[in-house]
Structure 1
Amino acid sequence: MEAIVIGGSGATGRELVKQLVNDDRFSKIRVFLRKSYFEPDEKLEEIIIDFEKLNNFKDQIKGDVAFSCLGTTLKDAGSKAAQWHIDYDYPFQFAEMAFENGVSSFVLLSAVGVDAKSQVFYNRMKGSLEDVIKKIGFQHLLILQPGFIDRPNTNRMGEKVGIKVIQILNRLGLFEKYAPIKTGELAKAMLESAFRNNKAVEVLPLKKIKAILN
């Protein structure tokens, strides 16, 4: 199989690309990046792009399965409009081009609690993205909705505190769908979900994500 990836330089995306390279079921991995990131490998092709000119690279957005791990924070983006542009516009454009080029399966990393009608900006943004990608018409669409993502060596204090709080609440049987998951585990679930061809659209909350890993 041939895979294409956006968001490959992020915490989960890095793990996903490494696992794809080491998986014998995949013969070619194309990663679309703003700058070179990975060590050279005969199976791996880094395609350096300007996401503002994604259409210029449309002919290369092809393969058997596409993975989207692209996302940023409001702080890094600088504004809600900028975050929407990165988290919504880029993945949507990528998905449309992949579909037009014959990609049959699309795996989207989303989040728990998303809803296009939510009053919470992040949830509304991610929910809106899920909705438009569902309408594209992929033969298989897998949407993963993890809770907290446990990123190794993160320097985000709020993230560290949030994970600790959720872990305490989880021990009390509360907020289990928000339980932290390590990036390596999440990446493995994304990879394996690409082989789940029983439904046209399948949404995978944390419980189903963990079931894939067992």
Structure 2
Amino acid sequence: MSMSKSIVFLGASGAVGAAALDTILRFSGINKLLLLGRRKLNLADSGNLDQQIIDISDPATYEAYITDFDTAICTLGVGEPSKISKADFVKIDKTAVLDFAKACKTNGVKHFQLLSSVGVNAASKSFFLRTKGELIEALEELKFDRLSIFQPSMILTPTNRYGLSQAIVLKVWPMLDFLLQGKAKKYRGIKVEELGKAIANNILTAGAGTEYLQYDQFKSLLSK
């Protein structure tokens, strides 16, 4: 695909981030691509690709790198929140993401894309969903020209990373798709490679304001 974009990416080492990056690297015409993370990825050297090791909890370690980018992608997040404390979950999934977004806004990024979750709501009784909902409200207050919120339900990965419970879910969830119709369709599982491709392809579409993307939108973006 041909495009003219400059992209700063936080979280490209995760499952969804890696899938999105794989698609982006196939695009032609990217002016520059900056990957920020806790480690460098094993990628072929490219004139328009830069990688910087940062401390996600300290914006001072990366703010200076965010110059002349029009698009930001953030897929940073805790894979299994139940395995860490609530304080650490907030530190990674809310505070670090919001700090990144603020740095992007300050440095002229117009379009911010966030990997979130279906059902997030700042008024939710669920700590997980409430925290993510509070993050979205804070992002909206930054007033990016375009804010894209990706809201998958179950992300279906080719391998089981989190033990027996995930193994069961990965096996059973796809069998329930036929039950999830109408408004419930948003709860269908999405393959990680499809979600990553949808996040990447959305960069190529036009839009403004805040947009919430769920299962149907993911599928639509796969043909872009």
Q: TM-score, normalised by structure 2?
A: 0.89
1:153 is the counterpart of 2:159: yes
Aligned partners of 2:180 and 2:88: how far apart in 1? Answer: 37
1:201 is the counterpart of 2:207: no
Q: Which residue pairs with 2:114 in the alignment?
A: 108
Determine helix, strand or coil for the equivalent of 2:29. Answer: coil
**Stretch deviating more after TM superposition (101-110 or 193-202):** 193-202
**Stretch deviating more after TM superposition (165-174 or 47-56):** 165-174
Aligned partners of 1:93 and 1:68: how far apart in 2? Answer: 11
What is the total number of aligned residue pairs between the two structures?
Answer: 213
Aligned partners of 2:6 and 2:85: how far apart in 1? Answer: 35
Deviations 1:77-127 (A, max 9, x none): x20110111000011000011011001101111111111111111111111
Aligned-residue Cα RMSD (Å) equals 1.6
Deviations 1:37-66 (A, max 9, x none): 232321321110112222232121231100
Determine helix, strand or coil for the equivalent of 1:27. Answer: strand
* Amino acid in structure 2 at the alignment position of 1:209: F
1:67 is the counterpart of 2:98: no
* Amino acid in structure 2 at the alignment position of 1:144: F
Q: TM-score, normalised by structure 1?
A: 0.92
1:85 is the counterpart of 2:101: no
Q: 2:28 aligns with which of 14, 20, 24?
A: 24
Instruction: Give the unaligned 5+ runs of structure 2.
Output: none
**Cα offset for 1:201?**
1.2
Q: Which residue pairs with 2:147 in the alignment?
A: 141
Distance 1:204 1:173, change over 3 A: closer
Aligned partners of 1:79 and 1:173: how far apart in 2? Answer: 32
Q: Which residue pairs with 1:52 in the alignment?
A: 57
**Cα offset for 1:172?**
2.9
**Are the equivalent residues in 1 in contact too, given 2:38–2:53 (CA < 8 A)?**
yes
**Are the equivalent residues in 2 in contact too, given 1:111–1:147 (CA < 8 A)?**
yes
Instruction: Give the unaligned 5+ runs of structure 1.
Output: none
* Amino acid in structure 2 at the alignment position of 1:165: V
1:171 is the counterpart of 2:175: no
Deviations 1:174-209 (A, max 9, x none): 543221111111111111212333331111111112
* Amino acid in structure 2 at the alignment position of 1:134: E
1:210 is the counterpart of 2:219: yes
Aligned partners of 1:191 and 1:25: how far apart in 2? Answer: 14
Fraction of identical pairs, as percent = 30
**Are the equivalent residues in 2 in contact too, given 1:151–1:183 (CA < 8 A)?**
yes
**Cα offset for 1:75?**
4.2
Determine helix, strand or coil for the equivalent of 1:167. Answer: helix
**Are the equivalent residues in 2 in contact too, given 1:32–1:49 (CA < 8 A)?**
yes
Q: Which residue pairs with 1:14 in the alignment?
A: 18
Aligned partners of 2:179 and 2:125: how far apart in 1? Answer: 28
**Stretch deviating more after TM superposition (15-24 or 101-110):** 15-24
